[in-house]
Structure 1
Amino acid sequence: MAYIHEFGIVECIEKNKEYVSYEPEKYDCIGVDGDLFDELMTKDFGEKMHQLETFAHNTNRSYKNLAYFGITLIPPSSHRQFLNIVYEANDEYKSKELEELMKKIAEAIKESKWMIHFGV
C-alpha cells in the first residue's frame, strides 16, 4: 500500500493548540511519496533534517526533524533551511513531488506562515 507525507500551510497558527487531527484538505496539502521520503531520510538529507527546528503536535513541544508518525509544525524561521534540504534532494532525485514541495515552502516563506506536515 502506498503512503504519503503531506505538507501544507497554516493560515493562522494557534498557540497551545494540539494539532492531532488529520486534515490535509484544510491546509491545501501536497504529497510526497513515502518511499521517496524514506530514501531521503537514509541519506545525508536525513542528518540535515535532524537539525531542522520544528514542533511536534503543538507550539510548546520543540522537536528536531519531521515527526514520521505524527504531525509536525514547521515555523517560518526554519523554512529556508528546509527549502535548502529539499532543493539538494531534488538535485539528486529530480522529483516532481519535491518540486511541488519547494513551491509550497517558497509560498510559506513569501507569506511568513507556518507549515504543517502530516506523517504516515
Structure 2
Amino acid sequence: MPCNHKFGIIDCLKDYDEDEYNPDKYNCISIDDDFLSEIYHNGLGNKIKHLKTFAHNPNRPFKDLAYCGITLIPSKSLKYFLDIITEANLKYKSKELEKLIEKISIAIKEDKWMIHYGI
C-alpha cells in the first residue's frame, strides 16, 4: 500500500481541531511519499527544513513538515513552499506536484493556511 502525504487548505483556522484527522474537510490532495522523500534527499531537503510552520497546532512553532504528523503552514510561508515545490517539479515533471503547486497557489491567492497530514 503506497504511503501518501495529504495537503489541503484551511478555510477557517478557528474550526481546526488537532485531534481530528479529516483530509476531506480540507479538500486534501495526495502526494506519494516517494516524491517527498526524493525532494528531501536530493537537494531541497535543507530548504524544506527552513520552512516556517506549526506542528499539530498554531501554538507550536516548527520548521519543516511534520513527516509523520500534522503540519500547519501559515499563509506567510506559502510563497517559500511554492518555490520549493516548483523547483522540485522542474526536475520530476509530476502531475502530483503540479496539483500541489495549484493548491498552494490557491491558498496564497485566498490568503489562507494549508494543512499537511504526514504519512
Category of TM-score, reference length = shorter chain: over 0.9
Q: Report the equivalent of 1:112.
A: 111
Moved over 6 A (4+): none
Aligned equivalents of 2:24, 2:117: Cα separation in 1: 11
Which segment drifts farther, 84-93 or 39-48?
Answer: 39-48
TM superposition shift of 1:43: 1.6
Q: How many residues align?
A: 119
1:69-100: CA deviations, max 9, x gaps?
Answer: 10000000000000000000000000000000
Aligned equivalents of 2:17, 2:41: Cα separation in 1: 29
Gaps of 5+ in 1: none
TM superposition shift of 1:20: 3.1
1:47 matches 2:60: no
Q: Report the equivalent of 2:10.
A: 10
TM superposition shift of 1:37: 1.1
Q: Helix, strand or coil for the counterpart of 2:116? A: strand
Q: With structure 2 as the length reference, what TM-score do the two structures score?
A: 0.96
Gaps of 5+ in 2: none
Q: Helix, strand or coil for the counterpart of 1:86? A: helix
RMSD, matched Cα = 1.2
